[in-house]
Amino acid sequence: MADLLFLQPLRVYKRWPMPEDFTGLISSVPTLALAQLAGCLPGHRHDLVDGIAREYSLRELDARVARADLVLVNAHSSIGALNVEANLRRIKDKFPDKKVVLGGHHATLYDREWVARGADFVVRNEGEQTVSELVAALAAGGDGAAVAGLTWRDASGAARRNPDRELAPDLDRLPMPDWRILDPKLYGLPLPGRGWATCVETSRGCDHGCTFCAASRMWRNRQRYKSVERVLEELRLLRGLGFRKLWVVDDNWGGDPDRAARICEAVLREKLDLSWMCFTRADTVSRNPGLFALAARAGLRHALVGFESSLAKSLRGFAKGTDGSDYAATSAILRRNKIFIGGFFIVGCHGETRAQTAEVLAAAAELADYPIVSIFEPRRGTADFERIGRAEDLPSADMFYHNTTHALPSLREGLMRQYRAFYRGFLLHPRQLGQFAWGTPAQRSFYRFLFAGMARSLLNVTPAKLRRPWEMVLDIRD
Ligand code: B12
């Protein structure tokens, strides 16, 4: 039996006045991957440090690492990479012999780079089987040489990449996530209702090939579904543990409408009394108005919708598979059912002029209750990264780190100003303040989270952050 420390890295570096990742403003979300992996590694002792949900000192991290035989770290995004690296360095400085395993989207895409930065093992793509085999091999005194899907450091220090692993053919056969490793007091979602908050997954991957999306290729452009019975088993278990607010992390909830409807009907029949949010595509909503009415009755309160743009040329450029003509219908369906619309949009690409950016921002404010606008950033693992990389127009050499305020060099002029002015105007508009005070339950809980997150960010200002707004600044010391 080994002591396993699951680590969501401490935020050693932080940004101000807005946090580096928007999601940190509106929620405190547990990392489902870590609960899922704990479920795959029964018979070992589990510990969890979640640096996104709580503040820890580096000394506390040291103490927890000291007790562990193996440290398993989630490396999820370019925005988080600096903090993953700061944690990794701390561990390796203090405990040079401690073995560290990384996994997640970013680790998969930059496996050799992470080995060069000190990781002993990187689990690429799907983690369940690979990590089980790795832990078993280490427990038997072996190494990772025979484990498919693994990149590892050999005795000479070189990175060795083992062959890829096939994706699990049947998600129902994955072990159940062990949500008991999460301290539910640390988490919250912008959803109305009572009960603890956590994440759940009913499918994995997406059939679509949007050029900006890092998830499609990670999951090899397929959406695999858990059966209705397996999903219900997970929901019942969660309900028994006191979790009633759920973030369904599937990429395109409702991609299989009949199955989704059967799950919603069962949630109603079994009176599970859940409040939940999901990611979905605009055309999944507009094609299935009945499904979303049913989902609202089954507790869907917040939909994160990938609109991406109101410009047909950008939608074409993104290979989004829609011209946007159904977007007004999508919003109407969700609003009719009192489902809060978090709308994803991307600006600053495909030759968009400043006037066209203004058009997209105006459409975003109309279509969504809260527009989540990103300035275009080509991430490794996407078709856009290859396209933009060829034109040598990346804001940093390989996008290993990325701070959203550094747009593509050709776009930088004026775009940040326009972007910030939009958000200032949006957030101070009486309509948003009205939603905070008198909106639907979903609107009120969203704005309560958002304004509390903004206040926290403003109150956490330090002289160093004040000198360098919008940059990642050292925030946690010993
Ligand atoms: C839920 C989610 C979140 C949650 C939870 C984050 C988390 N760490 O789990 C929140 C809301 C916090 C979040 C935030 C952000 N996210 Co996010 N997120 C997702 C989403 C939708 C699902 C992830 C999930 O839970 N899947 C289910 C679990 C079981 O799968 P998994 O996490 O991938 O884990 C599996 C493997 O990756 C691996 N694994 C993962 N970690 C580890 C660790 C070890 C040790 C091992 C061995 C294996 C392993 O094993 C697991 C089981 O197979 C994905 C899209 C997707 N469908 O994958 C985007 C996604 C991962 N997010 C993304 C982004 C960009 C962000 C943000 C930057 C958004 C923003 N601008 O604010 C922030 C960054 C936060 C940060 N500080 O790093 C991108 C990452 C792209 C990239 N490489 O940069 C994705 C791919 C979305 C996309 N379509 O592009 N996100």
Q: What DSSP string runs through 271-325?
A: T---EEEEEEEHHHHHH-HHHHHHHHHTTEEEEEEEEE-S-HHHHHHTT-S--ST
- Residue 101: pLDDT band (50, 70, 90) is very high
Indicate whether residue 457 lines ligand 1 (CB < 6 A): no
Looking from the CA of residue 78, the nearest atom of ligand 1 is 84
- Residue 294: pLDDT band (50, 70, 90) is very high
Indicate whether residue 35 lines ligand 1 (CB < 6 A): no
Supply the pLDDT for residue 392: 62
Instruction: Show me where the domains of the chain are located.
Output: 3-161, 188-428
Domain 3-161 and domain 188-428, same fold? Reply is: no
Supply the pLDDT for residue 99: 97
- Residue 275: pLDDT band (50, 70, 90) is very high
34 in Cβ contact with 72 (< 8 Å): yes
Per-residue pLDDT reduced to its tens digit, 385-418: 888 876 666 666 688 988 766 666 666 668 888 9
Q: Is the pLDDT of residue 349 over 90?
A: no
Which whole number is the average pLDDT over 110-128?
98
Which whole number is the average pLDDT over 309-327?
96
Indicate whether residue 73 lines ligand 1 (CB < 6 A): yes
Supply the pLDDT for residue 21: 80
Supply the pLDDT for residue 412: 66
Indicate whether residue 379 lines ligand 1 (CB < 6 A): yes
Percent of the chain with pLDDT over 90: 82
Per-residue pLDDT reduced to its tens digit, 160-187: 999 999 999 999 999 999 999 999 999 9
Indicate whether residue 126 lines ligand 1 (CB < 6 A): yes
Q: Residue length, the chain?
A: 478
Supply the pLDDT for residue 285: 98
Indicate whether residue 78 lines ligand 1 (CB < 6 A): yes
Indicate whether residue 70 lines ligand 1 (CB < 6 A): no
Per-residue pLDDT reduced to its tens digit, 438-466: 999 999 999 999 999 888 888 889 999 99
Supply the pLDDT for residue 1: 81
Q: Which 3 state secondary structure label does DSSP give 136? A: helix
287 in Cβ contact with 322 (< 8 Å): no
Strands (E), 181-242: 196-200, 203-204, 224-225
How distant, in Å, are the alpha carbons of 43, 236, 263 from that of 171? 22, 18, 16
Q: Count CB neighbours of 400 within 10 A.
A: 17
Supply the pLDDT for residue 20: 81
- pLDDT mean across residues, the chain: 94
* Domain 3-161 top-level CATH class: alpha beta
Best CA proximity match to 370, nearest among 15, 11, 20, 27:
27
Strands (E), 56-205: 70-74, 99-103, 121-123, 150-153, 159-161, 196-200, 203-204
- CA dist 310 and 266 (Å) reads 36
79-94 burial string, b = 16+ CB within 10 Å, else e? bbbbbbbbbbebbbee
Q: Which residue has a Cα nearest atom 76 of ligand 1? A: 80
Q: Is the pLDDT of residue 125 over 80?
A: yes
Looking from the CA of residue 76, the nearest atom of ligand 1 is 78
Supply the pLDDT for residue 407: 62
Per-residue pLDDT reduced to its tens digit, 257-272: 999 999 999 999 999 9
Per-residue pLDDT reduced to its tens digit, 6-35: 999 999 999 888 888 878 788 889 999 999
Burial class (CB in 10 A: 0-12, 13-18, 19+), 250: buried
Q: Which residue has a Cα nearest atom 21 of ligand 1? A: 249
Identify the CATH homologous superfamily for domain 188-428.
Aldolase class I (3.20.20.70)
Supply the pLDDT for residue 395: 63
**pTM for this entry:** 0.96
80 alpha-carbon distance from chain centroid: 11
Cis bond upstream, residue 17 (ω within 30)? yes
Indicate whether residue 402 lines ligand 1 (CB < 6 A): no
Supply the pLDDT for residue 393: 63
Supply the pLDDT for residue 408: 67
Ranking 203-207, 259-263, 381-385 by mean pLDDT, the lowest is 381-385
Which whole number is the average pLDDT over 127-149?
96
Q: Classify strands 99-103 and 121-123 as parallel, antiparallel or unpaired.
A: parallel
